[in-house]
Every structure is written in C-alpha cells, then in structure tokens.
Structure 1
Amino acid sequence: MEPGKNIAIKVPMHRWEETVAFYRDKVGLTVTRELDNSTGFNFGGLTLWIDRVPHQSQTDVWIELFDDDPDAALSHLGSPCRDELEPLTNVTGHWTSDPAGTVILLRREQMG
C-alpha cells in the first residue's frame, strides 16, 4: 500500500463557502478544479478537496490509499467494507475506515 493523491475534507453545507475561502484566501492554496459541490486545491503532490455535503453535521477527513489488489489489501487491514458511502464509478477498490473512523478509499491506481 502507498498513499494516494487525494485528501477530502467533507464539510457541512453551512461551513463550505467559508472553508473554501480559508484555504484559498488565507492559506493561499491554488485552486486546481471547481465543481458544483467540490473545490480542489494543489496540496504539494496531492489534491485537497473541500466537498460540500448535504445533511452532514460535522467535518470528516477522507484519505486515499493505492494498492494493486484492493480486495486483498482490505482483507489484510481487517477493516470494514463501506462501499455504501459513495458510488465508485470507474474505480477498482473499496471504501473502508480505520479504527478511529477516518474514511479511506482503498483503490488501484489508474494509469495514464
């Protein structure tokens, strides 16, 4: 396993605009992508996503790990499969979490 290229901060709707402004205006991160409910920032070699999440009452940090065999890696970690969290479109992998509840996207890196 190795670190992925994305970190997401899942933010309640009422905190999203001020959180995006904080990272853009105060921290000074460069915006790399803007979607309706997500803003991506250059974060060193990673992309930091600030995601607006309806019905979210607290902020969560989600991380990404790469592995050539996500099924075996999930088994090795002994972590729960949490694929109900978000659809995985065109991704080979699983949502899981660590013992503290941090959500992890455990997936095969797409080449090209």
Structure 2
Amino acid sequence: MEPGKNIAIKVPLYRWDETVAFYRDKIGLKVTRELKDSTGFSFGPMTLWIDRVPHQSQTDVWIELFDEDPTNALAALGSPKRDELEPLTDVTGHWTCDPAGTVILLRKGS
C-alpha cells in the first residue's frame, strides 16, 4: 500500500465557507478545482479537498491509499468494508476505516 493523491476534510454546511476561506486566504493554498460542494487545493503532491456535507454535524478527515488489489488489501488490514459511505463511480476499491474511525478510500492505484 502507498499514499494516494487525495485528502478530504468533510465539513458541515455551516462551517464550509469559512473553512475554504481559511485554506485559501490565510494559509494561501492554490485552488486547483472548484465544484458545487467541493474545493480542491494544491497540497504538495496531493490535493486537499474541502467537501461540504449538509447533514453532517462534525468535521471528518478522509484519506486515500493505493494498492494493486484493494480487496485483498482490505482483508489483510482486517478493516471493515464501508462501501455505503459514498458511491465509488469509476473507482476500483473499497471504503474502510482505521481503528480510530478515520475513513480510508482503499483503491487500485492509477
């Protein structure tokens, strides 16, 4: 396994605008992509996504790991499959989490 290219901070609706402004205006990260509910920033070799989640009450950090065989990697980790979290469109892999509850996208490397 190896680190992926994305880190996401899932932010409640009421905190989204100020969180995007913090990373853009105070830290000075370069915006690389803007979507309806997500803003991507250049974060070294990765993209830091600030995602707006309307029905969420707390902030979560989600990370990405690459592996050539995500299903076997999931079994080796002994972590739960959490594919109900978000649809995996055009991605081969699984959602899972670490023992502390950090959400991990374990996907086939690109």
How well do the aligned residues superpose, as a CA RMSD in angstroms? 0.4
Give the TM-score normalised by structure 2: 0.99
Q: Tell me the secondary structure at the aligned position of residue 21 of structure 1.
A: helix
* 4+ aligned runs moved over 4 Å, structure 1: none
Q: What's 1:44 paired with?
A: 44
Q: Which residue does the alignment assign to 1:6?
A: 6
Q: Which runs of 5 or more structure 1 residues have no equivalent in the other structure? A: none
Following superposition, the deviation at residue 31 of structure 1 comes to 0.1
Distance in 1 (alpha carbons) for counterparts of 2:76 and 2:39:
33
Amino-acid identity (%): 81
AA aligned opposite 2:46:
L
Q: Which residue of 2 aligns with 1:20?
A: 20
TM-score, length-normalised on structure 1?
0.97
User: In the alignment, is residue 75 of structure 1 matched against residue 93 of structure 2?
Assistant: no
1:26-37 equivalence runs, <5 A: 26-37=26-37
> Following the alignment from structure 1 to structure 2, what is the Cα–Cα distance between the partners of residues 109 and 75?
17
Structure-1 separation of matches of 2:39 and 2:12: 14
Q: Distance in 1 between matches of 2:12 and 2:49?
A: 14
